[in-house]
Amino acid sequence: MRARIVILISGRGSNMAAILAAGLPLQVAAVISNLPEADGLELAAAQGIPTVVVDHRLYPTRAAFDAALAETIEGYAPQLVVLAGFMRLFTAEFVARFRGRLINIHPSLLPSFPGLHTHRQALAAGVRIHGCTVHFVTEQVDHGPIVAQAAVPVLADDTEALLAARVLRCEHVLYPRVLQWWAEGRLEDQGGGRIRVRGSFRSSGSLMTPEPDA
Say whether 172 is catalytic: no
Q: Which is nearer to ligand GRF, 33 or 187 (CB)?
A: 33
- One residue of 5, 13, 73, 148 binding ligand GRF per CB under 6 A: 13
**Residue whose CB is nearest to ligand GRF in the complex, by number:** 85
What are the b/e assignments for 85-109, b being 16+ CB within 10 Å? bbebebbeebbebbeebbbbbbbbb
> Looking at the DSSP assignment, which residues form a beta bridge with residue 82?
7, 103
- One residue of 6, 29, 105, 150 binding ligand GRF per CB under 6 A: 105
- Which whole-number Å values give the CA distances from 31 to 35, 64, 66, 123, 161, in the listed order? 12, 20, 16, 33, 27
Continuous segment of H or E residues that includes residue 183: helix 160-183
Q: Which is nearer to ligand GRF, 11 or 153 (CB)?
A: 11
C-alpha 180/C-alpha 85 separation (Å) is: 19
- Using alpha carbons only, give the angle 143, 32, 47 rounded to the nearest 5 degrees: 120
At its nearest, how many Å lie between ligand GRF and the CB of residue 38?
8
- One residue of 69, 73, 81, 106 binding ligand GRF per CB under 6 A: 106
Q: Per rule CB under 6 A, is residue 145 in the interface with ligand GRF?
A: no
Q: Which is nearer to ligand GRF, 11 or 114 (CB)?
A: 11
Give the CA-trace dihedral at 60, 64, 69, 74, to 10 degrees: -160
Taking contact as CB under 6 A, which single stretch among the options 8-16, 28-36, 89-97, 177-185 is the one that binds ligand GRF?
8-16
Q: Per rule CB under 6 A, is residue 85 in the interface with ligand GRF?
A: yes
Q: Per rule CB under 6 A, is residue 171 in the interface with ligand GRF?
A: yes
Positions touching ligand GRF (CB under 6 A) are 9, 11-16, 84-85, 105-107, 132, 168, 171
User: Looking at the annotation, which residues are catalytic?
Assistant: 106
